[in-house]
Amino acid sequence: MKTNTINKKEIEKFSKIAEEWWDPEGKFKPLHKFNPIRISYIKNNIIDTFKLKKGEKPLNKIKILDIGCGGGLLSEPMSRLGADVVGIDASQKNINIAKLHAKKSNLDINYFCISPENFQIDKKFDVILNMEIIEHVDNADFFLKSCSRLLKKDGIMFVATLNKTLKSYIFAIIGAEYIMRWLPIGTHSWEKFVKPQDLIKILKNYNLELDELAGMKFNLIKDEWSISSDKSVNYIGKFIKN
């Protein structure tokens, strides 16, 4: 069995544009638009699952691992919400950018250039974020198995990715990369997209049960993302480890 999930081509692709992580009008503009809905969905689900008190820092003392953290676009808001955040990414350039930005922002986030299968920890995490990462790794099954090892019992794993449908090919590749030019051409490979039923099946093998599955939809007129029942392009799953 393959014991490495790093896809070198994918790492090079994102390393080349790493300088632009925090430019809301740069190559990662779609992620900046995507971020508010991701943050509120994750925050609300963590609060509900762990029965936390709502407030300024509701995620206080919750240990979060952000896998494929990039420049820290999700790690930083989680840290601001009070969570104890660790971010890992296979690109050293991404990690350097993330560390620098966290320092500038006075945030205490631990970043490591490593993949989940090689990450050794003393204490398991309450929450694992797998946001828009599984469509960029080699061997999604082994990748998810490695991630589940890092999650404690009754912990939550969030997985956001792209469905493998004709609609996702038209919208996420033809539309977003070639027509709208929201993303650099070649950002996504349709072959690596994952159907929800396949994701659920893989995670079930590693003691992760689906708790909730939601679609994410972009409204061109409002220029914003929202949670939707339409899972044909983007979707997010919340899984609980039993």
pLDDT 10s digits, 158-182: 999 999 999 887 877 786 766 767 7
Is residue 3 a part of any domain in this protein? no
**Predicted confidence band of residue 117 (pLDDT cuts 50, 70, 90):** very high
User: Residue type at 35?
Assistant: N
- Model's pTM, two decimal places? 0.93
Is residue 193 a part of any domain in this protein? yes
Is 120 a residue whose pLDDT tops 90?
yes
User: How many separate domains does the chain show?
Assistant: 1
Q: What is the pLDDT of residue 1?
A: 47
**Under a CB-based contact definition with an 8 Å cutoff, are residues 211 and 238 in contact?**
yes
Is residue 182 a part of any domain in this protein? yes
Q: What is the pLDDT of residue 6?
A: 87
Fill in the DSSP letter of residue 116: G
Is residue 99 a part of any domain in this protein? yes
Q: What is the pLDDT of residue 177?
A: 65
Contacts of 203 (CB under 8 A, 6+ apart): 144, 148, 157, 159, 209, 210, 239
**Predicted confidence band of residue 96 (pLDDT cuts 50, 70, 90):** very high
Nearest to 133, CA basis, from 123, 120, 143: 143
Note down the domain range covering 193.
8-241
Is residue 1 a part of any domain in this protein? no
Q: What is the pLDDT of residue 186?
A: 73
Distance between CA 37 and CA 14 in Å, rounded?
Answer: 23
Query: Residue 59 is part of a domain; what is its CATH number?
Result: 3.40.50.150
Is residue 229 a part of any domain in this protein? yes
Distance between CA 55 and CA 52 in Å, rounded?
Answer: 9
Nearest to 33, CA basis, from 180, 166, 194, 200: 180
Is residue 2 a part of any domain in this protein? no
**Predicted confidence band of residue 3 (pLDDT cuts 50, 70, 90):** low
| φ/ψ of residue 129, rounded to 5 | -105, 120
Nearest to 127, CA basis, from 97, 159, 99: 159
Is residue 212 a part of any domain in this protein? yes
**Under a CB-based contact definition with an 8 Å cutoff, are residues 133 and 68 in contact?**
yes
Average the pLDDT over 61-89 and give the result: 97
